[in-house]
Chain A
Amino acid sequence: KAGVTQTPRYLIKTRGQQVTLSCSPISGHRSVSWYQQTPGQGLQFLFEYFSETQRNKGNFPGRFSGRQFSNSRSEMNVSTLELGDSALYLCASSPQGAAYEQYFGPGTRLTVT
C-alpha cells in the first residue's frame, strides 16, 4: 500500500498571506489528523477529521482550519500567516480514528517570511 502523501513538500509564503496544504491518506483509512512540528514546541495536535467531520481540535487559533472530502483526502488552511507559523506540518492517517495507530506522511515544510 502507498503511504500517506502530502503536497507540496516545501512552501515559502509571506506574512499575511494564506496557504492550503493537502494530504492523501493510506487507502482505506478514514481518519486524518494534522500536527504542527517546531523546534520549540515540538509536535502539537491541530485537528482530526473522520468521515468528513471534524472530531477533535487542538489549542490553535481560528486561523487554522481544515476539511476532509468524501474520498478521505484532507486539506488544512492557514489564513493571515504569521512568522511563528513557520513549521513542519504533518498529516497522519488512521484506519479507525486518532485513538488507534496513526501513520504519518513526510510533512510540508512551511516557511513564512
Chain B
Amino acid sequence: GENVEQHPSTLSVQEGDSAVIKCTYSDSASNYFPWYKQELGKGPQLIIDIRSNVGEKKDQRIAVTLNKTAKHFSLHITETQPEDSAVYFCAARGGGADGLTFGKGTHLIIQP
C-alpha cells in the first residue's frame, strides 16, 4: 500500500517568514494529494489539494508543489501569521482502492 513520509515533525518560524513542509510518497499511481490543518480539539480542515496532472497550485498565502518523478510534494506558507499555528498533515490517495494515507504531521509554531 501507500506510504507517506512527512518532515519536519516540528517547525518554528518567525511571524512574517515563510514555512515549508515536505512529504514523499511511495505509490507511483497516487493521483490526489491534499493538505490538512488541524487545530486543538478540532477535526482536520482541508486547506489545499493538488492532483497528479498539475505541478503547482496557489491559494493566497498557501501553495503546494508536486514532483511526480521524485514522488514528493510540499506545502509553502508565506507571510506566516499567529493563526497559522497548528498541526499540518499531508496525505496521498494511492492507486488502489484505499482511502487517504496521511503523513505523521508537522507542528507549526509561529513565533511573535
Contact = CB atoms under 8 A, between A and B. Distances in A.
A89 B93 CA distance: 20
Interface in A6-58: 33, 35, 42-48, 55-56, 58
Interface stretch (B10-18, B43-51, B77-85): B43-51
A42 B34 contact: no
Interface stretch (A66-74, A77-85, A102-110): A102-110
Contacts, number: 55
Give the interface residue-count category, chain B: 20 to 34
A102 B51 CA distance: 14
Contact of A45 (B31, B36, B44, B98): B98
Interface residues of A, number: 25
Given A42-B105, A43-B89, A99-B93, A104 B44 contact: yes
A46 B102 CA distance: 13
Contacts of B62: none
Interface in B58-112: 89, 91, 93, 97-105
Contacts of B42: 106
A96 to B, nearest CB: 12
Contacts of A58: 98-99
Contact of B97 (A42, A55, A59, A105): A55
Given A101-B46, A104-B44, A106-B43, A45 B34 contact: no
B97 A56 contact: yes
A46 to B, nearest CB: 8
A103 B31 CA distance: 18
B32 A100 contact: yes
B100 A56 contact: no
Contacts of A42: 102-105
Given A42-B103, A43-B102, A44-B102, 5 more contacts: A42-B102, A43-B100, A101-B34, A102-B34, A105-B43
- 4 cross-chain pairs, A with B, having the tightest CB-CB distances, nearest first: A45-B99, A104-B43, A43-B102, A104-B44
Interface of B: 1, 31-32, 34, 36, 41-46, 49, 89, 91, 93, 97-105
